[in-house]
Amino acid sequence: MLLFAANAFAGAKVALTFDDGPHPYYTEKILEILDSYSVKGTFFLVGKQAEKYPQLVRAIRDAGCEIGNHTYNHPRLIHLNAEEIRKEVESTTKLLENISGEKIKYFRPPGGRYYFDTLENMEGLEIILWTINTDDIYKPAHKIYEESIAAEDGDIILLHSGVAQTITALPRILNYFRSKGITALSISELHKLKSAEFFE
């Protein structure tokens, strides 16, 4: 059934996103795999990890991939007050921009959970969630693959940077996408294409 659904969407454009990095080992592996398929992704980085591994933040940038804000400490925002949320967001944006030299445009709340008043503390960042959660932290590689190839046009796929089984699944996912004419993109690339299609 999954194969039929994926085949039906040949020509689809989907976004690949990777949370919780940079990871001292797996981030580089992800970048190598993406590069081997000429694919760009979006990495939602945790500030305290970026501070530890600034060279990996720059490696993501140098690979032509996109960097997003995933808070400094990875807390659940629904448990924080407005000032604490602002600090988590602002400090991470400043840190990532200082390291990468690029403007940060996107924010992903840990766990995807936030209250509407959180929007007041985003400092102009756009919140990006997902439409497919692969649950890659908990699932084996073949299940991550099955979740990912069910993607439809415009889907945003959630993966994580520090997961061994994701490294195993990713080449298979990208090989399937390539064979079926499904294009994997960064969030900005997907936005641009979808906006152009809308106005056409």
Catalytic residue among 79, 136, 160, 191: 160
Question: How confident is the model at residue 195, as a pLDDT?
Answer: 73
Catalytic residue among 19, 20, 136, 155: 19
Q: Provide the residue range defining the domain that includes 37.
A: 2-199
**By the 8 A CB rule, do 46 and 68 touch?**
no
Q: What is the pLDDT of residues 99-116, one digit of tens each?
A: 999 999 999 999 999 999
Question: How confident is the model at residue 11, as a pLDDT?
Answer: 84
The identity of residue 153, as a single letter, is D
Here the CATH number for the domain that contains residue 96 is: 3.20.20.370
The segments of the chain whose pLDDT lies below 70 read: 1-10, 196-200
Among 169, 170, 162, 160, CA closest to 23: 162
Q: 3-state DSSP helix/strand/coil percent for the chain, to nearest 5?
A: 50, 15, 35
Is 117 considered catalytic here?
Answer: no
Is 155 considered catalytic here?
Answer: no
Q: What are phi and psi of 140, to 5 degrees?
A: -75, 165
pTM check: above 0.85: yes
Q: What are phi and psi of 164, to 5 degrees?
A: -60, -40
Report the domain count for the chain: 1
